[in-house]
Amino acid sequence: MKNYNSKSSFSVKLITVGIVIVMGIVVFSILTLNETYGIIGGIIISIIILSALIYFYANSLRNILIGENYLTLKKNIGKIEIPFSDIIKIEKLDFSNLSMTYGSKGVFGYVGNTMDDSISMVNDRKNMVRIITNDKKYTISSERPKDLINDIKNVLQQRE
């Protein structure tokens, strides 16, 4: 089993820290300073903000494992297993601004769905890889994208 890490780029770290600080200030302000929403309204807005941050953290890609039968995308909480038999194509992508239909635009990575209907779990836009399966497309990032692609292609060739 081979393991490939998916580390966050400096820009993702900067965006995440900045947004977490701003959201913390917003939550604090709503709960303590603003009487407009009231305590219940402030708590509800705070829960929504914190839930969004937890969601993006949970779905952020941590590492990629190449097993015998599956390519496993391990998130901070949970995983996605892609059978090698479902993989049609794998390719390296160039640096790009990911156009998201929904998701985070840098908070804990670029997590969500892109305009091309790809599931995005990108932590570093300079090291992106696209995996196309029978049903879905995944855009991920790895510290060593070329090695990851070569290893997956080797596994796919051995299975033919």
pLDDT tens, residue by residue, 57-90: 999 999 999 988 899 999 999 999 999 999 999 9
Averaged pLDDT, 1-30: 89
Half-sphere exposure of 55 (CA within 13 A, CB side): 11
What domain range includes position 134? 1-160
The pLDDT score that the predictor gives to residue 73 is 95
The pLDDT score that the predictor gives to residue 31 is 75
The pLDDT score that the predictor gives to residue 45 is 81
The number of domains in the chain is: 1
End-to-end Cα, the chain, rounded Å: 19
Q: CATH no. for residue 84?
A: 2.30.29.30
The pLDDT score that the predictor gives to residue 64 is 95
